[in-house]
Amino acid sequence: MRYGVYGGAFDPIHLGHLLLAESCLREAQLDRVIFVPTGMSPHRNAKNFYNATTQDRYNMISAAIEEYDEFEVNRFEIDRAVTSYTVDTLRYFHSTFNNVTKIAEQNYYNGNCNTVAANRVEFFLILGCDMFCDLPNWREVDEILRLAVPLVALRNGSKLPQTNINYIAINMPIIDISSTNIRNMLANNITPRFQTTEKVLNYIKTHKLYSPHQ
């Protein structure tokens, strides 16, 4: 099984996020993409400030992907009470998924015909160009690269620095959507139609997220 790990604030999730996940799924021949909303991120300021709560961000991702079996969302980082580093998240996934695989294989070789022996899982880390360029500064980068192969989103005109890092380039259509712009529109009572899913917009409206009076 080939899993893409897609971390981010998703504050809120939008169509650009979904399009990148779909592009990685197709071009890298992934079996699934795991969305991992960040908890206490080392890339945020000291207060790790988000505009929506961790639960709201998780719920919006769930709403956005619920119709797509190839996508799932994981609570590992938002349920932790400490700063979340990518290397810790990848270790968690390796430990969790490979333990499940070992159990499946053991059952298979013990004669349980209802269990099919699975191959070891492979992980791929989904990144934008800016995050990939900063990757050498991340904690335990060598371990990150041992645990996962970067999938780097390239848009027209994107250039990456010369690097010895093994990565897979993912071609992304040009789509100028950002969570910041969506929040700004909502703060000015403008509905960001066609920038996120209808279910996410309904969730935002129902829970009065990103409003001027929030």
Residue-wise pLDDT for 95-153, tens only, equals: 998 765 444 445 545 555 554 445 679 999 999 999 999 999 999 999 999 999 999 99
Question: Is 98 or 208 the better-scoring residue by pLDDT?
Answer: 208
Report, as an integer, the average pLDDT of 202-209: 96
Summary mean pLDDT of the chain: 88
Q: Is the pLDDT of residue 63 over 90?
A: yes
What's the pTM?
A: 0.89
Q: Tell me the domain boundaries of the chain.
A: 2-174
| The predicted structure's pLDDT at residue 42 | 75
Mean pLDDT of 150-177: 87
User: Which of these ranges, 1-5, 41-45, 62-66, has the smallest mean pLDDT?
Assistant: 41-45
* The pLDDT value given to residue 104: 46
Q: What is the mean pLDDT of residues 81-100?
A: 89
The percentage of residues in the chain with a pLDDT greater than 90, rounded to a whole number, is 71
- What integer pLDDT is reported at residue 128 of this predicted model? 93
More confident residue, 162 or 111: 162
pLDDT at 45 over 90: no
Which CATH architecture group holds 2-174? 3-Layer(aba) Sandwich (3.40)
| Token code pair at residue 158 | 């994107």
pLDDT band at 23 (very low <50, low <70, confident <90, very high): very high
Range 67-89 average pLDDT: 95
